[in-house]
Amino acid sequence: MQVKNKAQKRLPLQAGAFKVGLVTSRFNGEITEGLLRSAKLALKKYGVKEKNIATVSVAGAVEIPFALQKLALAQRYDCLVALGCVIRGETPHFDYVCKMAQEGVLRVSQDFRLPVGFGVLTVFSVKQARSRFHVGGEAVEAALELASLQF
């Protein structure tokens, strides 16, 4: 049996008609702006039209699931993407914020049967976060891939 080290990407050839909702937190704005730029570059790369992209800004990572839920309720999107950054501090607050964001995003995806790309960084430092702007694009790719699944 052969084990592959890297996940093979299976992306849609034609995502131009997809409607995508992006939810970005403003907390750690330098980082989340980089994630958003990466996400928008990926959307452009896969042919998603700018008029089909909705961008919502929220205060922090904890608020991301609520905004995703509001977008999902609108029933206009083929997929959604969550973008945020939580940097560990000296208190357990980090753990609660990460858990609330992750579980909330998962719940929206499952409750609405809607792909949600998870681009919320959980890191130890700003330096680590700055080296991970690419995660925004990867979250878009994951969401587009799931949105293109046909059975």
Beta bridge partners of 24: 57, 83
Average pLDDT along the chain: 92
State the Cα–Cα distance between residues 4 and 31, nearest whole angstrom.
31
- By residue count, the chain amounts to 151
Q: At what angle do helices 135-147 and 29-45 cross, to 10 degrees?
A: 40
Query: Which residue ranges form the domains of the chain, and what is each CATH number?
Result: 20-147 (3.40.50.960)
- Distances 132 to 1, 119, 128, 150 between C-alpha atoms, Å: 33, 10, 7, 31
Closest CA to 60 of 110, 112, 96, 111: 96
Query: Residue 85: what are its φ and ψ, rounded to 5°?
Result: -150, 125
| pLDDT tens-digit map of 116-148 | 999 999 999 999 999 999 999 999 999 999 999
Residues carrying an active site annotation = 93
15 close to 73: Cβ distance less than 8 angstroms = no
What is the per-residue pLDDT for 5?
46
pLDDT at 102 over 70: yes
| Overall average pLDDT of the 105-110 stretch | 98
| pLDDT tens-digit map of 10-36 | 665 578 889 999 999 999 999 999 999
- What amino acid is encoded at 47 in this protein? G
- b/e sequence 55-89, b meaning 16+ C-beta within 10 Å: eeebebbbbbbebbbebbeeeebbbbbbbbbbbbe
